[in-house]
Structure 1
Amino acid sequence: MRRTRNPDRNRAMTRVATVVLSTALVLTGCSHPSHTAHPSHTARPGSTQAAGAAAPTAPDARHIALKGAVNVRDLGGYRTSDGKQLRYGAVFRGDALGKLTPADLAVTAKLGLKSVVDFRLPVEVRTDGADRLPKGAAAITLPIDDTGLYEQTTAAIGSKDPAEQQKALGDGKGAETMRRIYRTFVAEAGARQQFAKVLRTIADGRGLPLLYHCTSGKDRTGWMSYVLLRAVGVPASTAEADYLLSNDIRRTADLRTRDGLKKAGIMRDPRLIVPLQEVRKDYLGAALTEADHRYGGFDAYLSKGLGLDAGTLHKLRTRLLK
């Protein structure tokens, strides 16, 4: 006799499974920051963080402590190779904003945001909710394809089948999937177009202050931030450190997700999703290698891949540096 399915239980299982992808970048507090007092949103070791957020360890981090988002940061303060500094309060990076609390909205209102760019796919927005934005912030939707990772991984996790989960994510498959996605950031015309639009919007200046984000604020957002920092002359090592900082900021929240999946009986081995939750040097390296292969280097990627001419790059640097 066929067992009748429980719709409520199935929906709950699906929701828990998709939460994992909210913490794994799929195609990614207590002190309230002030737009005029920029050091107040620098999280330093020992400072109090929002629930689920580990204290950033990099001294250049400008973490915005929120309860409904873990990985929101000001890109200000980074130094270029010639000694200039990125302005505070101009460009922010983040994770999904659909769970912001009223107190969070009060914090983000102080940032004075004019534009919020959302890299998420429609399925991600349907699952996690549209952004909650402070007044005056215009939503800009620029979805970047994840090559099917979201739905494929959700299906594997939601199956509750250890063999199916191992087949989809084990034996290095999770990490290889992430490297493949990073290569598409550079190879796919649609992705290049979206990243270029953000850079042109920043260079134009009328949409600043601007925040861009994906689901977890680490992959699409991480690559966007790396490209922006390098484009204005920040050393590669510094841009890489900003990219890797997501691991420190997200560590506690990601661990809780894995614990929740195991306790709920959905995953026997939740460590399988660690490659999806983390950012890694070799993921970034996959994108950079693709840029070398297709264009001959990072600078050529900016000009040929993203179509940014010298004038646009000059305006970008003028706009952001002091």
Structure 2
Amino acid sequence: MKHYPVMLPEVLDALDIRAGETYVDGTFGNGGYSEAFLRGGDCHVVGLDRDPNVAPRAAALSAQYAGRFRLIETPFSKLDSVGLPPVEAVVLDIGVSSMQLDEGERGFSFMRDGPLDMRMSQNGPSAADAVRLLSQVELEQIFRVYGEEARARHAAKMIIEAREVSPITTTAQLADILEKALGRRGKTHPATKVFQALRIYINDELGELCQALVAAEHQLAPQGRLIIVTFHSLEDKIVKAFFRERAGEVEGGSRYAPVVERTGPEASFALPKRSVTKPSKAEVAENARSRSAKMRVAIRTAAPAWPESARRALRVPSLSDLEARL
């Protein structure tokens, strides 16, 4: 399937490429953003990715743009601990890439049969481990919180019953169980939200995002831009809350309630636009995966004087608990 860098025109507009500046593409994937940045001006780009399978694509870009591009194999949550100087922009496209979804052997999608894996880094517990070892209550919590699945309890119950008969090791097996358990309602496959929830859990995507926000806050140069594209409501809520807190805002800001000034550390970000930017109708028509995308932008101001953590408490089992059971 063709690779689409989601909301590329909007990202480029927010980035405002300038010669000599250094940009971090924190979710390199298939290199769509990085290549567009390099083409857009005489800038330098550092790609980050925890997926070792992106190495050939990164090597090709490095050869094509000698001295202007390099890849560092690391989670984007560690972007401030890989020895980079202050950078002028950090761009994060949160979630799974088209490349990962389209490779059946990676186990991200119910549309292609393959091992029930879902690991971006290919280390640690897999989705198959989760459905094998977690309790019904734990699975229900994951499906309800990370997938916002209304029938999470029934989905978890049917998985527990199925695994007592035989191990669930492939995407097709799990998708079939969920289709029988939840039934078809409309165009969306009944496995969609559960697969999303397992992927988010196995890769600790929300925890990684929280850490990445703080890392970017420390890595950006003055007036540096932090550009984040999300695809899930929980991701967007985390980004929205972080940006507004760091911009010195609390509750309010609607026509019924004014923005309340925060007392505490000096604001470390300014928000050029408080609302989200969404993809154009033309993009959604061409690439259905972009339909849930939202982009938020913040501009770096003062040095951070905030707590190191941006993590929000979520009532879900810890990934480390699953690791301990392997």
Structure that is richer in strand per residue: 2
TM-score above 0.5: no
Normalising TM by the smaller chain, what interval?
A: 0.3 to 0.5
Structure that is richer in helix per residue: 1
User: Which has the larger Rg?
Assistant: 2
What is the TM-score normalised by the length of structure 2? 0.35
Larger relative contact order, structure 1 or 2 (CA cutoff 8 Å, min sep 6): 1
